[in-house]
Amino acid sequence: MDKMKPFEKKIWLSSPTMHGDEQKWVNDAFEKNWITTAGENVDSVETLVAEKIGCKYAVALSCGTGALHLAIKLAGEKLYGQAKPNAGTLQGHKVFCSDMTFDATVNPVAYEDGEAVFIDTERDTWNMDPVALEKAFEIYPDVKLVVLVHLYGTPAKLDEIMAVCEKYGAVLVEDAAESFGAAYKGKQTGTFGIGNIISFNGNKIITGSSGGMFLTDNKADADKVRKWSTQSREAAPWYQHEEIGYNYRMSNIIAGVVRGQMPYLEEHIAQKKAVYMRYKEGFKGLPVHMNPYDEKNSEPNFWLSCMIIDKEAMCKQVRGEQDALYISENGKSCPTEILETLAKYNAEGRPIWKPMHMQPIYRMNPFITVNGNGRGQTNAYIAGDLEDVGADIFERGLCLPSDNKMTAEEQDKIIEIIRSCFD
Ligand SMILES: *Cc1c(COP(=O)(O)O)cnc(C)c1O
């Protein structure tokens, strides 16, 4: 192992993979001088994405976060009526949100003056636990909106979550930013909520360098989001505004990149799946497991491969707010040791997305676990055993180098490096 040299070319977590068509459509925008937030590329990607997802309308926006903002704003307006000028549509209302996710999933709830209540994670797909969600409705029966992520490209337990939403008369917004192309019972993620989103950020399964989409079957909703995203201009000869607007529309240049990527979505998914399967095979005999998915009902897009170390095989690891320490032990390891070792060899892994209820910015928000325990409004833990699944996966899990351009040989070396951490 000591004789092994670092990778000459860095192995990335997930880097963009360009094919040539992207440049062609960008050039097309230049040639036609559509250097703005409209043009053939924008129109084309909206059609292509709606076709792929199987929804009626896709609205091209500047980023996934902006798409989520407008999806959540729209849900708020439908549930609670139009906001007063200059106010958010969620004004004081609680919203149930995935807890183990990227903060872009939940920040828009705050943009709209709502309060996120974090729902703990289950162990079968690492997504929102439908049992914890039901407990949350028992505690806060008035909640009407649920924001659900499909983490790392793995579909959540949609049947169970939809059933709980239906039982309590709530609606769903899906954050499919990481799961474009993934399906649940044959239906694409991004089609289950009343308004859903995907992202084309630089490290996603396909990219425009940035960009996102709002997805819906409702024409009025698509029109509304398109209007909000272009500064809420009314149909008047001058700039006429009756409501607050945003500058969230996708650029025709960015859309050219996305347009060029679209034909390669399935190829990228196949490559990502191969990466996942090679890790699964390569880790045999080690005290670790891959991030799980429902093999019967779901087809992830395998955007990121992750692993979790068995409890008994964890060496001592302590994390503060900004740093981490560990004590190396024979036969054991921990995410910090593995990530540091990968970095030493010029390969990029990443910790599991730190759960929102553990983030300083959200320390005062309620958090509900599967036992109906968790954290109440005063930041005091509600009595009872606290099984905090998100904190446990964060403690023992990590995201592996998952680049689709990594060769089998390079991946074998990554696997060997990880094995050496358990020596
Ligand atoms: C990337 C991502 C987003 C945000 O998308 P951007 O296009 O980067 O704004 C939202 N949610 C999740 C889960 C993401 O991974």
Is the CB of 149 inside a 6 Å radius of any atom of ligand 1? yes
The span from the CA of 232 to the CA of 59, in Å, is 15
Residues 46-61: pLDDT tens digits?
999 999 999 999 999 9
Please choose, from the candidates 2, 69, 28, 5, the residue with its C-alpha nearest in 3D space to the C-alpha of residue 345: 5
pLDDT-derived band at 3 (thresholds 50, 70, 90) equals: low
- Do the Cβ atoms of 414 and 342 come closer than 8 Å? yes
Residues 70-80: pLDDT tens digits?
999 999 999 99
What burial class does residue 359 get, using C-beta atoms within 10 Å of its C-beta: 0-12 exposed, 13-18 middle, 19+ buried? middle
Ligand 1 atom 13, closest CA:
102
Is the CB of 102 inside a 6 Å radius of any atom of ligand 1? yes
Ligand 1 atom 8, closest CA:
201
Helix (H, G, I), strand (E, B) or coil at 63: strand
Enumerate the domain spans of the chain: 21-264, 265-365+384-420
Alpha-carbon distance values, 145 to 117, 309, 401 (Å): 11, 34, 35
Is the CB of 178 inside a 6 Å radius of any atom of ligand 1? yes
The span from the CA of 89 to the CA of 117, in Å, is 17
Enumerate the β-bridge partners of residue 288: 309
Residues 7-23: pLDDT tens digits?
999 999 999 999 999 99
The CATH label, of 3.30.470.10, 3.90.1150.10, 1.10.40.50, 4.10.490.10, for the domain at 265-365+384-420 is: 3.90.1150.10
Q: Please tell me the predicted confidence (pLDDT) of residue 383.
A: 45
Q: Does the structural domain 21-264 have CATH classification 3.40.640.10?
A: yes
Token pair for residue 326? 């560990």
pTM of this structure: 0.96
Distance from Cα 81 to the centre of ligand 1, integer Å = 27
265: left (phi over 0), alpha (psi -120 to 50) or beta: alpha
Q: Which residue has the higher pLDDT, 126 or 371?
A: 126
Average pLDDT, the chain: 95
Ligand 1 atom 7, closest CA:
64
Evaluate if residue 253 carries a pLDDT over 60: yes
